[in-house]
Amino acid sequence: MEDSPTRLRGKPSWLVSKASARAHRLIGEAMAAASGRAYHFAILAALDEFGPDSQVRIGQRCGIDQSDMHTMLNELTAQSHVARTPDPSDRRRNLIILTPSGQRRLEVLDTTLSEVQDDLLNALSGTERHQLTMLLTRVLD
């Protein structure tokens, strides 16, 4: 990146884009090695934090398109990491629940992604990582 034009390196949007591309590559490689997907982690994390919910609501929370959600939930169901159960308040829809297997899988994927964070942000101190996280959260909120 050192040979990139100074004007580009001075634009946060360009830097975020380049960092994002690197993060996507590292995450993709790590998830493939763990036989998983980043979307699997997002869905399992949402279920762990918020509890059983509809497919639509989980997709909204995670920013996952509904067609992708359907595919991801089919994969997670086939792996016994989530289950579909009738919603007691509306029998026409299902709730997605996290299974014990899914809880264990979440822990494995969480560890994998933590290692990616360490690789991606190895040039930053713990304080700088926290500050970066807070700043990016403010930008996105």
Domain that includes residue 47, residue range:
36-110
Query: Is the residue at 62 inside a domain?
Result: yes
Q: What is the pLDDT of residues 18-33, one digit of tens each?
A: 999 999 999 999 999 9
Q: How far apart are CA 77 and CA 97, in angstroms?
A: 10
Q: What are the structure tokens assigned to 36, written together?
A: 């998983």
Q: What are the structure tokens assigned to 7, written together?
A: 């004007």
* Helix 55-62 vs helix 66-78: crossing angle, to nearest 10: 110
At 71, which helix (H) or strand (E)? Answer: helix 66-78
Q: How far apart are CA 54 and CA 52, in angstroms?
A: 7
Handedness of CA 73, 77, 81, 84 (dihedral sign): positive
Query: Is the residue at 28 inside a domain?
Result: no
pLDDT at residue 99 tops 90: yes
Query: Is the residue at 82 inside a domain?
Result: yes
What number is the average pLDDT over the span 2-13?
Answer: 90
Tell whether pTM > 0.85.
yes
Amino acid at 106: L
Domain count for the chain, please give it.
1
Q: What is the mean pLDDT of the chain?
A: 95
> What CATH code is carried by the domain that includes residue 66?
1.10.10.10
Query: Is the residue at 24 inside a domain?
Result: no
Query: Is the residue at 31 inside a domain?
Result: no
Write down the pLDDT at residue 95: 96
Query: Is the residue at 67 inside a domain?
Result: yes
Q: What is the pLDDT of residues 31-58, one digit of tens each?
A: 999 999 999 999 999 999 999 999 999 9
pLDDT at residue 90 tops 90: no
